[in-house]
């Protein structure tokens, strides 16, 4: 009795209504709300077929965490057909597009980055160099942090480059 036809409008409304209601109910606890979105939601001006239209989401939550795993960009992005060969560009350009599209909204960005072996473009390992490029891109895009994801939940210190020490 509650169902509606699955149109772009109803999908977007379902997602954003849920986020707004969650934010309203959580307000007494003085907490932030956050939402994960698919990486292509940064680039697609429709709802990506799943209700994720970035402009609407940005008005309904405090933090947006696009899942910017280069392996998941199976179609690439403009100028980059093989995304695993360009982890910096995938993350930086995707965040630039998102931030431009949501400039008037108060939401901040904290992306998910790839920390697992590529599964779509030949099995390239994502180690310290590739992870470091993604982290650099997130910082250069002005995000408020980043998160790593590995589906096996396996992380190693060797996957990280040492942080440069600030000059005194």
DSSP 8-state code for residue 84: G
Give pLDDT tens digits for 63-115: 999 999 999 999 999 999 999 999 999 999 999 999 999 999 999 999 999 99
> Is 80 exceeded by the pLDDT of residue 164?
no
Residue 166: predicted pLDDT: 64
Output the DSSP codes for 6-60: --HHHHHHHHHHHHHHHHHHHGGGT---EEEEEGGGGT-SS-TTTT--HHHHHTT
User: Which helix H or strand E contains 129, and what residues bound it?
Assistant: helix 128-140
pLDDT band at 2 (very low <50, low <70, confident <90, very high): low
Residue 148 tokens read as: 């790593």
> Is 60 exceeded by the pLDDT of residue 1?
no
Please state which CATH number belongs to domain 8-26+33-159. Answer: 3.20.20.80
Residue 168: predicted pLDDT: 64
């Amino acid at each position: 009795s509650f169902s509606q036809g699955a149109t772009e409008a109803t999908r977007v409304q379902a997602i954003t209504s849920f986020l707004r209601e969650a934010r309203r109910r959580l307000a007494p606890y003085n907490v932030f709300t956050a939402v994960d979105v698919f990486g292509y939601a940064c680039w697609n001006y429709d709802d990506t077929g799943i209700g994720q239209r970035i402009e609407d989401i940005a008005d309904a939550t405090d933090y947006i965490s696009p899942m910017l795993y280069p392996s998941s960009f199976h179609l690439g992005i403009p100028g980059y057909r093989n995304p695993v060969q360009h982890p910096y560009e995938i993350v930086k350009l995707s965040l630039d597009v998102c931030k431009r599209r949501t400039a008037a909204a108060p939401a901040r960005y904290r992306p998910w980055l790839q920390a697992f072996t590529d599964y779509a473009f030949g099995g390239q390992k994502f180690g310290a160099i590739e992870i470091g490029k993604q982290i650099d891109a997130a910082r250069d895009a002005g995000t408020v942090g980043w998160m790593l994801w590995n589906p096996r939940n396996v992380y190693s210190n060797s996957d990280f480059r040492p942080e440069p020490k600030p000059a005194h």
